[in-house]
Structure 1
């Protein structure tokens, strides 16, 4: 039976979410069972408002641009959905003769995907999830499209900042990395490390309780040794009691807005140690910088989009496309289909085997796992000031 396809983006964008969109559209065009391929303009909010784009009206040249377009070309949202909204979406999906629905996003989006799947059971609608998150915290899959590019950005940016800091070693620099509850992005800074003096000198993950006194002692020791220090810290650092190291500055409903961790850590160094310090917070630049897009990330995002389309056409529903690591050297993965209910809102933190014993760095095992995802070597720098 012929039916239309709808692609919905949810949550924070990445540099490769449009690559998955491209993969799904291109794959759908190969199959006569699919009529029109729609995109929801503005995520689930667009779906509920019936704001769709018909991709048959888009030129091939513009579709090719998706592979180098950061964020999402069809828009996204974090719309809070009530129980009745899922039934509304099913009615809209049926109204537009949509048989295949692909949800591309992170943990929250996979939760929505799972709820739509439940609501669609028995209605000849096939629902598939496509993982997307720079945080890399979706359960079961080895990694998520979006992470490799964010990891490459932070690793290269850390290398560049480290080179600057040691060129004129007079201060401490704190780099705040994205990742509220999982430190995958923060950990990727370790790939920038060249010689022992270059930095980053310490990496603080949200999986490890932050100790202010230990941190200050580390900074003091590093400054005495090198005349400078480069610290990479997760935005989600917490104390031993689980509370954030920076108090919330505003709360609206269920949303909490925290202060800058990097600025807080730099201020501690200035006030407590009397050492010049500054903070850098790439923020959304780290997930939007297409110049740092990983070639591996791009390829796998396209693959995930293609496979989601194929899964729906084969009659699969209620699954998310994922990756299983076969080998890190040479790098090899296998596409798998994961029951959506096994990943709905299940955050995956960095495992203990990837975290250094002293809690202020990562292991070689993490670097071996992460290195293939960033899509090639980082830039190397000259250094003569021994």
Structure 2
């Protein structure tokens, strides 16, 4: 029986989310029973508003696929749209079902993070209640690496590689002067400090810095922070600190918050706050650096392992749907660190929807200002390999719709 499928991307951009799109597309075009492959513009909103494009008309060659695979961000556009509960959002779900049925779509693939799995879970529940045979599969992505159940998420490895390389360059820059200095690098991570913690991989190349690493999972006080810096300044003239954006100073927990549709707080500024704290209490040269969105889409130094796995898990999602699975999120299971071996499996999307995976307590140092060597062994395989980036006029070339 011939069927059509649709795929959408959601949440924050990454270096690898388009590679997962390629994985879905490539597996679809070589599957005889799949005809049209539709791309939904701006996530689930494209299904609700019937804004679909035929991907076979825009991805025409193997060269197109390779260029798309190494292009950062979400080529189909993204959204942060929260589906209403099934019992309250009848009209929205009817519009989704009408769009899927109109285009004879029998499988829908949603590439995204924690909140996107909420959409996968709700939509699959609705379709099952309507006795629909349309399958819904979640393909994971997030640079935060905070999706539960899966060993890691596509997008994280490339972000970790960029952050580590950038911090290493900051180390070189900061070490040239004879005066004492403190450099605070603010790294993404709202509640989970995986990305900040990943800067520890520099120790595999005999770097001592970052000298201090602070994650949201630890209690944080200004007094202990200043004490830690003074201890490090006794040993190093240039102290480098990695701090997650979600770290909060004691007493600031009840500040007014700005949140998105899923209730997630928009964060930034801990670096500047800590810079001022050091300036007032220690008085040395100090600067803060917020890496901001560069962490998500710096594909010029992406991890080949990350890009390859992102494509693989997209392809596996199509195979899962063809096998009759629905309401599932695809996951990685790690078999070993050395040699690095993972397998792809699936779990109920409800197990990941709106849930977070925190940095393991056993990998945190007793002082709460660093991570243990076990973390290095976990992170290192995820940043391996380089992608041969297509270049033109000395700059990377990106796929554009």
Q: Which residue of 2 aligns with 1:109?
A: 116
Distance 2:82 2:74 in 1: 19
Residue aligning to 1:303: 312
| SS across alignment from 1:225 | coil
2:30 aligned residue: 30
Q: Which residue in 2 is equivalent to 1:78? A: 80
2:233 and 2:240 mapped to 1: Cα distance? Answer: 10
Structure 1's 30 and 265: CA in aligned 2 closer, same or farther, altered over 3 A? same
Cα deviations across residues 140-180 of structure 1 (Å, max 9, x unaligned)?
Answer: 11000011001111111111111111122532100001010
- Find out whether 1:287 has 2:296 as its counterpart: yes
**Secondary structure of the structure 2 residue equivalent to 1:321:** strand
Q: Is the 8 A contact 2:157 2:383 kept in 1?
A: yes
Is residue 362 of structure 1 aligned with residue 362 of structure 2?
Answer: no
Q: Which residue, out of 159, 164, 170, partners 2:173?
A: 164
Superposition TM-score, scaled by structure 1 size: 0.92
User: Partner of 1:174: helix, strand, or coil?
Assistant: strand
Match of 1:134 among 132, 136, 143: 143
Task: Quote the Cα distance in structure 1 between the aligned partners of 2:365 and 2:137.
Answer: 37
Cross-structure match for 1:69 = 71
Task: Pick closer, same or farther for the CA change 1:346–1:174 going to 2, 3 Å.
Answer: same
Mapped to 1, the partners of 2:71 and 2:210 lie a distance apart of 30
CA deviation profile, 1:160-209 (whole Å, cap 9, x unmatched): 11111112253210000101010000001111236887410000011001
Change (3 A) 1:344 1:160: same
Counterpart CA distance in 2 for 1:361 and 1:296 is 26
Q: Secondary structure at the match of 2:333?
A: strand
Q: Distance in 2 between matches of 1:338 and 1:252?
A: 27
For residue 116 of structure 1, give the secondary structure of its aligned residue in structure 2.
helix
- Check 1:72–1:362 CA distance in 2 against 1; reply closer, same or farther (3 A cut): same
Deviation larger for 80-89 or 5-14: 80-89
The count of corresponding residues between Structure 1 and Structure 2 is 375
Contact 1:166 1:198 in 2 (8 A): no
- Structure 2 distance, partners of 1:169, 1:366, is 32
Equivalent residue, structure 1, for 2:244: 234
Partner residue in 2 for 1:382: none
Q: CA deviation at 1:341?
A: 1.4
C-alpha separation between the residues in 1 aligned to 2:72 and 2:160? Answer: 15
Which residues in structure 2 correspond to 1:79-228 (within 5 Å)? 79-82=81-84, 83-84=89-90, 85-121=92-128, 122-170=131-179, 171-193=181-203, 198-228=208-238
2:274 to 258, 265, 274: 265
Q: 1:342 to 1:67 in 2, by over 3 A?
A: same
Q: CA deviation at 1:95?
A: 1.5
Judge which range, 89-98 or 124-133, deviates more.
Answer: 89-98
Question: Are 2:346 and 1:344 aligned?
Answer: no
The 1:248–1:272 alpha-carbon spacing in structure 2 relative to 1, beyond 3 Å, is farther
Contact 1:11 / 1:76 at 8 angstroms: preserved in 2? yes
Distance in 1 (CA, whole Å) between partners of 2:223 and 2:205 is 27
